[in-house]
Amino acid sequence: MAIPPRTNTALVASPVVRALRFEDVPEALRVVGRAVEHGCRWHYGRAQRDAVYASYASHLFVEALGPFESWVAERGGRTVGVAQLDPADGRLRALFVDAGDQQRGIGRALLAEVEALARRRGLGRLHGAMSLNAVPFYERAGFRAAAGVERLVSARIAIPILRMEKSLTSQ
């Protein structure tokens, strides 16, 4: 397997994080698609990347109006990230940063918003099925491996993941 290139980690102006609106969904899906294509290319094959994207594309319009909390991050008026939390159980359902904007603090800003909401809701932990390429990001943010299945199945395609969780009560 090839080693992914290092990218510039210089921080630029903080993104604006706000609630996702229904009209944001098409651009949010483009961000998801570019993020999956760029970020996952070293860990997942074409069919797996396509299945991950399809799972979001088939549900995000409905979920934007549903029971989940969803955000976008904007920089310069452009959508550069998307996050989604199921506040019923503290499951981080999604966190994607656009391909050209990764490693610039956008993921951290989105995760901070998710954590703040989870704490306000009295949740004791965040957890999720993290893509293999994102594990180092979540580890730096205080997540640890958790018990659970180590692959998801989307469109009959197995996608290796790592279940991770973070306590929100010990901080």
Confidence (pLDDT) at 6? 44
Q: What DSSP line would sit under 126-153, residue for residue?
A: EEEEEEGGGHHHHHHTT-EE-SS-SEEE
User: How far, CA to CA in Å, does 61 sit from each of 16, 37, 86, 141?
Assistant: 22, 21, 15, 29
Confidence (pLDDT) at 152? 80
Alpha helices in 89-134 (DSSP H): 106-120
Q: Is residue 170 in some structural domain?
A: no
Give bridge partners of residue 130 from the DSSP assignment: 162
Q: Is residue 35 in some structural domain?
A: yes
Q: Is residue 93 in some structural domain?
A: yes
Query: What range defines the domain where residue 101 resides?
Result: 16-123
Q: Is residue 136 in some structural domain?
A: no
Q: Give me the CATH number covering residue 68.
A: 3.40.630.30
Confidence (pLDDT) at 155? 67
Q: Is residue 141 in some structural domain?
A: no
How confident is the model over 8-47, as pLDDT tens digits?
Answer: 444 457 899 999 998 999 999 999 999 999 999 999 999 9
Q: Is residue 133 in some structural domain?
A: no
Confidence (pLDDT) at 41? 93
Q: Is residue 55 in some structural domain?
A: yes
Confidence (pLDDT) at 12? 55
Confidence (pLDDT) at 10? 45
Q: Rounded to the nearest 10 degrees, what angle do helices 25-39 and 46-57 cross at?
A: 160
Give 38-69 as a 3 state SS string.
Answer: HHCCCCCCHHHHHHHHHHHHCCHHHHCCCCCE
Q: Which residues of the chain have pLDDT under 70?
A: 1-12, 155, 170-171
Number of domains within the chain: 1
Q: Is residue 49 in some structural domain?
A: yes
